[in-house]
Amino acid sequence: MSERCQHADTVAAYLLGALVDAERTQFEAHLAGCAQCREDVATLRVVTEALPLAVEPVAPPPQLREVPDVEPSRSALQVGPAFRAGMSDLALGDPSARR
Amino acid sequence: MQLVQRAEASAFEVIYDRHAGAAFSLAYRMCGARQLAEDIVQEAFLSIWRSGGRYDRRRGSVRTWVLGITHHRAIDALRRGVVQDRHRASDEGIEERFEAEERTDREVARREEALEVRGALDGLPAEQRRAIELAYYGGFTQSEIAEMLGVPIGTVKGRMRLGMEKMRDRLEPPAEVLP
């Protein structure tokens, strides 16, 4: 078994959002070159994806539902069809909703 | 052009209807104030609208993506000091819970999922659960948590790591790891 990376414990802090910007940038640079930490991030991510589901449900106020009164970004407009496809995919393509 | 915009707007509303409840609940849990939670969710959905729905599908479901953006925005707000009193929503009492008006299969499945995650979190040793909760829901940095708990940063990191590993094993047993 390969030796444990000295940055292994930072994986959890990184995924939980507990690093300040400078630490996060530094760790992401490390990740680019460390397959072991990348794999840890991939396997532990399931936890940070699950944590928001554990909170008490609270109803959002109805006015939040209004479509933003701004244009999509210029880059999104430049790829008009992709924008439409993207929004439609988002609306239809939620794998978690099909489980 | 207006028809096209209308179609996009409808798609946006579907996304909103499906995920805003979870996003708002998360933001409220993190900042403990309705108005700020509204601002956070509004910013998150605005960025989704602006992005034109371009997200990396390899990173998981739309819900995961929306909640990730919301979490990030909430942490930004907490670290900017927007929230003066960083007590959490759980201390206040929540006046508007979702009631059982929508007993769809999806809603039932989500409730079960919430129970499963809560069970995994509650099953951790207290010091591991505390470190994870302060980081993820509280938006505190590892240094802040170390100071609050009076332990070295390395200890905080270790607790978070051990706790997350235990939660992962409970939420996703090794035999069921997806390809």
Residue B62 has what pLDDT? 83
Say which amino acid occupies B10: S
Q: Cβ contacts (< 8 Å) between A19 and chain B: which residues? A: 141-142
Contacts of B69 (CB under 8 A, 6+ apart): B44, B47, B48
The residue of A6, A9, A11, A16 whose CB has the most chain B CBs within 10 angstroms, and thus the best one to mutate to test that interface, is A16
Residue B41 has what pLDDT? 93
Tokens of B40: 């956070």
Q: How far, in Å, CA of B168 to CA of B151, rounded?
A: 25
Q: Cβ contacts (< 8 Å) between B96 and chain A: which residues? A: 58-59
Q: Dump the DSSP string for A34-69.
A: -HHHHHHHHHHHHHHHHGGGGSPPBPPPGGGGSPPS
Nearest-neighbour CA in chain A from B53: distance (Å): 4
Q: Cβ contacts (< 8 Å) between A55 and chain B: which residues? A: 25-26, 28-29, 114, 137
DSSP for residue A70: S
pLDDT tens digit sequence for A13-51? 999 999 999 999 999 999 999 999 999 999 999 999 999
Nearest-neighbour CA in chain B from A90: distance (Å): 6
Distance of CA A80 to the CA centre of its chain: 24
Residue A93 has what pLDDT? 53
Residue B60 confidence (pLDDT) above 80: no
Residue of B nearest to A49 (CA): B64
Query: Whole-model pTM?
Result: 0.79
Q: How far, in Å, CA of A50 to CA of B2, rounded?
A: 39
Say which amino acid occupies B42: Q
pLDDT tens digit sequence for B94-133? 444 444 445 577 778 888 889 999 999 999 999 999 999 9
Residue B147 has what pLDDT? 96
DSSP for residue B175: G
Residue A75: its H or E element: helix A74-78
Tokens of B63: 């819900």
Tokens of A8: 């292994």
Residue B175 confidence (pLDDT) above 50: yes
pLDDT tens digit sequence for A1-13? 468 899 999 999 9
